[in-house]
């Protein structure tokens, strides 16, 4: 049964022209993938249509759609009819717009009402040069980092919008405490995935995450906006990676650097409504950083670590997420902002559960693995292979909520299957998961080679299967994640 929330995708005709004759256009692929994602998260089909400036679209036609996705590119903005359609949709009562960008577009060139709207950037940005380019290999490593994670985000945001529009709380989470705000600083492109994961978890626990709109490109306006939003928050979270980040107009500092500087000043000077505490995460996997970025990181460690209200951590991302939970989440309803205090290691009572994610085709190969995990004192959660697609999906979601550690078996399946399962693990908090994930791993089967570097940003352990089951490596993975 289709959901009564039709979606219109509007693009420039040239942006959907296939690169090679006989291939599917970029926007058509985007629509196909989004339709698949929405079916996974909603369990029902949503009507999606695509139109270009060559199609006739009247105001009456637009009113039939509840959600509107303009695919923004320079070519899209050159067509006056596309701009007019965007303006018309803003007039629709209760209409919801999700801005997708297929290529980088200057903020000032976008329609006024779209400029400050957070968008879903479905293009690749070279960390070293800062140049962007279109993703055409949807199953390659670039798409893995930049395309699929953003597409999953878009699907979940549409999912939430549809549920809200239907005025149902069936798939929403009731906040454990009064809604409060957290400032999650904008990051450089190399940490956009990590920032999205943390943003999802904060929203999952009922927090309002700032900034809610894109930051101004002018340094003066940017500083004013950041100071105003920090004054609404008790905690700011900053993620520091390999790239120094973009530098706004009128400044010599990057957006990442400026936000950190302003948060430090706000913390030192105090806020109108109390103290601002800070969590600063520095990636433990720093590679090919510029001299300026290395200096920036050293300055943070040297200058800020001594200031009250700041805690700097250079740990795996999953450990950092656990610390965020300790700071913010208290089931009694009381919030903790205790920066700098020593923390006991999180302990889970009872038998830990390992979600062994594998395909039916590899069932014979994983049987010895199952026996070993169970013999090691863990309960194994199995995927379900019986039932229709909706039943299988529901069982998968239930498993994603319950497990402590997850191990994906990469045997006779293709690499895209592995990537999709990993994306589900990364998005587990969005399904209503309350407890931390202790570990994620991928175990390769006999003769399977995997590019470990392409998975480095996902905080996942790669275990080489080799000719025999690597029992010691598997045991280390299980025990070191306690």
Q: Is the pLDDT of residue 443 over 70?
A: yes
What domains are defined for the chain? 3-165 (3.40.50.10140), 181-328 (3.40.50.10140), 353-479 (3.40.50.2300)
- On the 0-12 / 13-18 / 19+ scale of CB atoms within 10 A, 70 is buried
| Confidence at residue 128, expressed as pLDDT on a 0 to 100 scale | 65
Instruction: Using pLDDT thresholds of 50, 70 and 90, give the confidence band for residue 342.
Output: very low
Per the listing, tokens 């936000």 go with 259
Beta strand ranges found along 294-404 (DSSP E): 310-313, 353-357, 379-381
d(CA 323, CA 313): 10
Element (H, E) at 395: helix 389-402
| Confidence at residue 430, expressed as pLDDT on a 0 to 100 scale | 55
| pLDDT tens column, 350-392 | 689 999 999 999 999 999 999 999 999 999 999 988 876 556 7
d(CA 482, CA 470): 19
Q: Is the pLDDT of residue 272 over 80?
A: no
pTM of the model: 0.57
Q: Are 102 and 134 in contact (CB under 8 A)?
A: yes
Q: Are 191 and 199 in contact (CB under 8 A)?
A: no
Give CA angle at 183 (181, 189), nearest 5°: 140
| pLDDT tens column, 26-40 | 999 999 888 888 887
| Confidence at residue 338, expressed as pLDDT on a 0 to 100 scale | 40
Selected residue with higher pLDDT from 55 and 426:
55
Q: Is the pLDDT of residue 95 over 80?
A: yes
Selected residue with higher pLDDT from 411 and 459:
411
For residue 282, report the phi and psi dihedrals to the nearest 5 degrees: -110, 125
Instruction: Using pLDDT thresholds of 50, 70 and 90, give the confidence band for residue 170.
Output: very low
């Amino acid at each position: 049964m289709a959901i009564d929330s039709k979606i219109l995708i509007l693009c420039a005709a040239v942006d959907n022209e296939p690169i090679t004759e006989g291939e599917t256009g970029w926007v058509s692929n985007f629509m196909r993938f989004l339709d698949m994602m929405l079916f996974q998260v909603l369990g029902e089909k949503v009507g999606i249509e695509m139109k270009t400036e060559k199609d006739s679209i009247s105001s009456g036609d637009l009113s039939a759609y509840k959600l509107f996705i303009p695919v923004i590119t320079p070519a899209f903005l050159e067509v006056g009819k596309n701009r007019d359609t965007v303006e018309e949709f803003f007039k629709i009562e209760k209409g919801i717009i999700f801005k997708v960008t297929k290529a980088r577009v200057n903020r000032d060139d976008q329609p006024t009402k779209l400029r400050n709207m957070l968008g879903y950037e479905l293009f690749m940005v070279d960390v070293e040069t800062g140049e962007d380019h279109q993703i055409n290999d949807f199953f390659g490593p670039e798409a893995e980092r930049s395309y699929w994670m953003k597409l999953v985000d878009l699907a979940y945001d549409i999912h939430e919008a549809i549920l809200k529009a239907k005025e149902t709380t069936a798939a929403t989470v009731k906040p454990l405490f009064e809604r409060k705000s957290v400032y999650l600083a904008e990051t450089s492109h190399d940490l956009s995935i990590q920032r999205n994961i943390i943003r999802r978890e904060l929203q999952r626990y009922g927090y309002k995450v700032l900034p809610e709109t894109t930051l101004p490109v002018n340094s003066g306006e940017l500083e004013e906006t950041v100071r105003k939003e920090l004054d609404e928050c008790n905690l700011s979270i900053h993620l520091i990676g390999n790239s120094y980040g973009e530098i706004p107009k009128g400044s010599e500092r990057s957006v990442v650097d400026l936000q950190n500087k302003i948060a430090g000043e706000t913390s030192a000077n105090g806020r109108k409504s109390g103290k601002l505490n800070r969590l600063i995460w520095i990636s433990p996997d720093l590679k090919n950083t510029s001299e300026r970025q290395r200096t920036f990181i050293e300055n943070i460690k040297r200058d800020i670590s001594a200031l009250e209200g700041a805690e700097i951590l250079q740990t795996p991302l999953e450990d950092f997420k656990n610390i965020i939970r300790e700071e913010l989440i208290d089931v009694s309803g009381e919030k903790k902002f205790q920066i700098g205090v020593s923390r006991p290691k999180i302990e889970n009572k009872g038998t830990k559960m390992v979600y062994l994610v594998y395909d039916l085709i590899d069932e014979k190969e994983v049987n010895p693995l199952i026996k070993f995990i169970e013999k090691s004192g863990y309960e194994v959660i199995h995927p379900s292979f019986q039932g229709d697609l909706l039943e299988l999906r529901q069982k998968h979601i239930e498993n994603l909520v319950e497990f402590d550690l997850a191990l994906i078996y990469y045997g006779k399946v293709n690499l895209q299957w592995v990537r999709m399962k990993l994306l589900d693990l990364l998005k587990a908090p969005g399904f209503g998961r309350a407890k931390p994930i202790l570990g994620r791993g991928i175990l390769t089967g006999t003769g399977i080679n995997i590019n470990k570097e392409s998975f480095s940003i996902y905080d996942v352990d790669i275990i080489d299967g080799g000719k025999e089951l690597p029992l010691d490596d598997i045991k280390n993975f299980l025990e070191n994640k306690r």
